[in-house]
Structure 1
Amino acid sequence: MTHPVIDALLVALTADPTNHAVRAHVARLLAEAGRPEEALTHATAVLAAVPDHVEALRAAAGAARALGDETKAASYGRLADALAPVDPPTTPAGAAATPSPVPLADAPHTGAAAVPDTADEILEQWSGSEPVAEPALGTLGQAGVTLADVGGLASVKKRLDLSFLTPLRNPELSREFGKSLRGGLLLWGPPGCGKTFIARALAGELGASFYEIGLSDVLDMWIGSSERNLRSIFDTARRNRPCVLFFDEMDALGQKRSNLRGGGSAMRGVVNQMLSELDGASTENDGLFVLGASNHPWDIDSALLRPGRFDRTVLVLPPDVEGREAILRLHLRGRPTERLDLAKIARATDGMSGADLALVCEQATETAMEESMGSGRVVPITQRHLQEAAKSVRPSIGEWMETAKNYAMYGNEAGAYDELAAYLKKRRR
């Protein structure tokens, strides 16, 4: 028996076989659909590359149990439980229930609505209010960071400030120049370069809640359920305004409908629902800022990139040498160090993503901790530790760059990848 959503995701995997989030979700759906052999194959493929992937571990546990291998199922399950984040304490019996939605204004609307003069006035009607609706899907909370916490990426932060933050902070100037405050923002680029962290930082800059949605929060193998999930997510975000609603893996959620044939046609409904919610066809989206992230923007349906939707795009590339030094400094903050020349390490890690640099710092830290345990005293992280770690970590974005180069060279008729082409040309020099 086939399932349209599973079939559509399998098609997506043929174009992007290293997308571990999609493959892990496919494994879970296959296990739920009674196809444990296939589920275990996909789950173990993810675990071979990412051994601590919790969703893949849970899918592998379920598949192994269905196949009668209780020993392996228990092993996968224990590891998943150990790695899973701890749930927050539950509300005691008799405690206050989730508060009712806070009115957007103290008095009823009469006549024409007043036009706010500043970004503070735009957000004033929500100021001081806590999130008013607990999400059934995804993760909702306060951002806790701003762009000042983002290491490096100076050009990206400048673009974001000009194209996204400045219009929101200066609505009167935007009206003067006829610039709309509607529409979303798509962050795209190689994996591990900080797209999710940047989205969270933007929420912090706006003083808004951050509502993070993953692939598994939306897609369901039963026809119609994915669309209902998407509607519920947008409704929750609207009740928690001001809110940054962030969708990861947009290339999987918003696949090109022209490529969705046969079993993949069920995903058309997901794309159509996304378009409807972005347009605010039946509801108002004021105070709702929709962001998306994608490693493969060329796989996204073009309708999602039209004005009023994800009409602004920002390329997030691997950090330059100054950015790498800033990221290293950020990850080493608060750890015991001694005589570090981070500029030298930054020069030696050309081509590494932010995630690669974080791994360099983690490996250097582990080595210092091991030496500390052996000597009985705290051994700080030294230049030697970082140099050894930098040599052992290989840049993880080479395969993405090869794919991206083809689109920049042969699929750039509309100029969507001009910035990427310029970056690749600069690196060839």
Structure 2
Amino acid sequence: MTKAVHSTEEDKYVTATLNPKERPNRLMVDDTTNDDNSVVALSQQKMDELELFDGDTVLLKGKKRCETICIVLADDTCPNDHIRMNRVVQNNLRVYSSDIVSIEVCQDIKRGKRIYVLPIDDSVQGIAGNLLEVYLKPYFVGAYRPIKTGDVFVARAIMRTVEFKVIETDPSPYCIVAPDTVIHCEGDPTKREEEEVSLSAIDYDGAGGLENVKQEIQEVLQYSVEHPEKIRKFGMIPTRAVLFYGPPGCGKTLLVKAIANEYRMNFIRISGPELLTMWFSESEANVRDIFGKARQVAPCVLFLDDLDSIAKSRNGSFGDGGAADRVINQILTEIDGMSAKKNVFIIGATNRPDIIDSAFLRPGRFDHLIYIPLPDEKSRLDILKITLRKSPVAKDVDMQHLSTITNGFSGADLTEICQRVCKLAIRELIGKEINEGKEQQRNGQTATDSNEPEDLVPEIRRDHFEEALKFARRSVSDNDIRKYEMFTQTLQQPRDFGRQFHFSDQQTLQGTDRSGGYRENCDDDDLYN
């Protein structure tokens, strides 16, 4: 019998390989012709095996800890170990056809008191009128649809389709939308790039190299995302802000996007100069709005790019009327006021860590600094392969040799080489097609005379790479690298204090408690006694 899932349960489930004998609730995804966003279909045999009935509400779990709620119906044409769902449900689970999902009965789902949804901006362009009356009420009326916070659904009316995102439900995180459920949709449409991590977005596998950095940031986030009970056990305050620093073009922005997609978190990116305005107090309001939006769509990665442009040392900020100082103070206030209960991770990126105001690097703020170095040989090989993974490359092109001779090149430099290689192949192909067309005209032939046109440039050859490398250049000098390495060494220098510290083998325990004997001295520092 399938296990009942309770809304207070904090365990996270990971999709496993299909094994019908040992895990009957692991099913393979099939596309369906039924376009209902709230319905999935199983075979009657599988429903009997899982003790499910038509109309039961089930909890589906897909990739990267994604979950959604649906109604299950029997379909005799569905294979026994398969589950049919439409594209909207697949998107909410971050799966495709032939992927594996798990299904569990959800017995404690309650009728919703109220829900809050917002349309996605690019789906409502050119639409005027009351979205609640035209789209939402017809979609929900009499259907008793289950919805979950974070899901996206599609509503159709008057030959148009609008996508909505579920921002909040009461009770949370899921409920049944009944006739007496209040539907709120006030507010500006939400931006797709801020609210959704696309299925085609970059992930850890698509961010070439940086294996050590991935491991480090994975540990920082996993403690908070996957092991919150261990954090509570030891009374730890989870890391909320991380600073990436390193040469330009080494994958800082790419890695942040990969993090958001890997952990299925919403992603908000803001560049430092975008926060500054010429109007008094408006810059601080921009900061408050950005952090407020991040809290609203948590779990969220808030990415502050070009942090050095607004977080410079406050020792010499003259001529700006103090605007930069006020922005710095507001950012620090927002970071300090970020509740540990809100899964908002702040990641800053800078090419100039030496000019960042020291207040940003204090404990509890950007106290976790991660150096993003130039890619090593293995990372360069990964970058070349990933960049050209969709390109037809000749088998005699030695990628390993390319990664060896490009020592000192950044990820952006390598990507530029790959782009130039593709342009050379395209230029050759277009030139040959033009010449072939002229030759056919001279011979009185037409393009339809040939049943199977010849592929004039079937793949990218070695000579394309040789020509592209003539224009290759490094964007990061050796002097720049030395500056970053010196800054890193400065951070890693051991402090004199505590170098020789050890607990003595024999401790005097008389008059002490588990606080190490310091509690009895607390009264000396208590200003109120």
TM-score by length of 1: 0.65
Amino acid at match of 1:385: H
**Residue deviations 1:143-180 (CA, integer Å, cap 9, x gap):** 33321221111111111122333443212233344432
Pick from 78, 84, 106: which aligns with 2:171?
106
The 1:311/1:224 distance shift into structure 2, 3 A limit, reads: same
Secondary structure in structure 1 of the residue aligned to 2:269: strand
1:369 and 1:379 in contact (8 A); partners too: no
Q: Would the aligned equivalents of 1:345 and 1:390 in 2 still touch at CA under 8 Å?
A: no
CA deviation map 1:65-110 (0-9, x unaligned): xxxxxxxxxxxxxxxxxxxxxx776151126279797447617xxx
| SS at 1:263 equivalent | coil
Equivalent position of 2:127 in the other structure = 92
Is residue 328–residue 342 contact of structure 1 (8 Å, CA) maintained in 2?
A: yes
Residue 479 of structure 2: which of 387, 402, 407 is its match? 402
Task: Report the CA distance shift for 1:190/1:211 in structure 2 as closer, same or farther (over 3 A).
Answer: same
Confirm or deny: 8 A CA contact 1:135 1:233 kept in the other structure.
no
Matched, 1:183 2:240: yes
Q: State the shift of 1:367 in Å.
A: 0.5
* 1:410 to 1:179, Cα distance in 2 relative to 1, 3 A: closer
Q: Cα–Cα, structure 1 residues 404 and 331, in superposed 2: closer, same or farther, change >3 Å?
A: closer
Q: Within the alignment, does 1:255 sit opposite 2:312 as a pair?
A: yes
Are 1:317 and 2:373 counterparts? yes
Pick closer, same or farther for the CA change 1:165–1:412 going to 2, 3 Å: same
CA pair 170-411 structure 1, distance change in 2 beyond 3 A = closer
**Which of the numbers 457, 461, 466 marks the counterpart of 1:382?**
461
Helix, strand or coil for the counterpart of 1:259? Answer: coil
Q: How does 1:193-212 map to 2 (within 5 A)?
A: 193-212=250-269
1:288 and 2:365 are equivalent in the alignment: no
Task: State the partner residue of 1:140.
Answer: 194
Matches within 5 A, 1:29-428: 90-94=125-129, 96=131, 102-103=167-168, 106=171, 140-143=194-197, 144-263=201-320, 265-280=322-337, 286-339=342-395, 340-376=397-433, 377-398=456-477, 401-403=478-480, 405-406=482-483, 408-409=485-486, 413-415=490-492
Q: Is contact 2:167–2:297 with CA below 8 Å preserved after alignment?
A: no
Change (3 A) 1:388 1:223: same
- Residue identity matched to 2:357: D
Contact residue 208 and residue 386 of structure 2 kept, 8 A: yes
Post-superposition Cα deviations, 1:96-136, rounded to whole Å, max 9, x if no partner, equal 279797447617xxxxxxxxxxxxxxxx689xxxx997589
* 1:347 positional shift: 0.7
C-alpha separation between the residues in 2 aligned to 1:298 and 1:236? 30
- Residue 338 of structure 1 and its aligned partner are, at CA, apart by 1.1
- Which structure carries more relative contact order (alpha carbon 8 Å, separation 6+)? 1
1:232 match: secondary structure: helix
Report the secondary structure of 2:194's partner residue: strand
The structure richer in helix per residue is 1
| Amino acid of the structure 2 residue aligned with 1:223 | F
Q: Quick one: structure 1 residues 410 and 101, their matched pair in 2 at CA, closer, same or farther if it must change by over 3 Å?
A: closer
* Residue deviations 1:353-382 (CA, integer Å, cap 9, x gap): 111011000000011111111222234112
Q: Distance in 2 between matches of 1:185 and 1:354?
A: 21
Q: Which has the larger radius of gyration?
A: 2
Q: Percent identity?
A: 33
Deviates more, 1:267-276 or 1:335-344: 335-344
Contact map agreement 1:168 1:181 (CA 8 A) in 2: no
Shift of 1:385: 1.4
> Hey, what's the Cα distance between the residues in 1 that align with 2:487 and 2:348?
25
| Structure 1 position 142, deviation (Å) | 2.5
Q: Supply the RMSD in Å over aligned alpha carbons.
A: 3.3
Residue range with higher mean Cα deviation, 300-309 or 87-96:
87-96
For the structure 1 residues 88 and 406, does the alpha-carbon distance in structure 2 shift closer, same or farther, using more than 3 Å as the test?
same
SS in 2 for 1:222: coil
Structure 2 CA distance for aligned equivalents of residues 299 and 135 of structure 1? 37
1:186, 1:292 within 8 Å by CA — same for their partners in 2? yes
Distance 2:352 2:187 in 1: 32
Q: CA deviation at 1:297?
A: 1.0
CA distance in 2 between partners of 1:382 and 1:89 (Å): 46
One-letter code aligned to 2:194 = L
8 Å Cα contact 1:191/1:295 also seen in 2: yes
Instruction: State whether residues 140 and 209 of structure 1, in contact with CA within 8 Å, keep that contact through their aligned partners in structure 2.
Output: yes
Change beyond 3 A, Cα 1:138–1:188: farther
Q: Which runs of 5+ in 2 are unaligned?
A: 1-121, 133-162, 176-184, 434-455, 496-529
Distance 1:351 1:224 in 2: 44
Segments of 4+ moved more than 4 angstroms: 97-101, 131-139, 406-414
Displacement of 1:141 in angstroms is 3.5
1:413: Cα distance to partner? 4.8
More strand per residue: 2
* Cα distance in 2, alignment partners of residues 274 and 342 from structure 1: 45
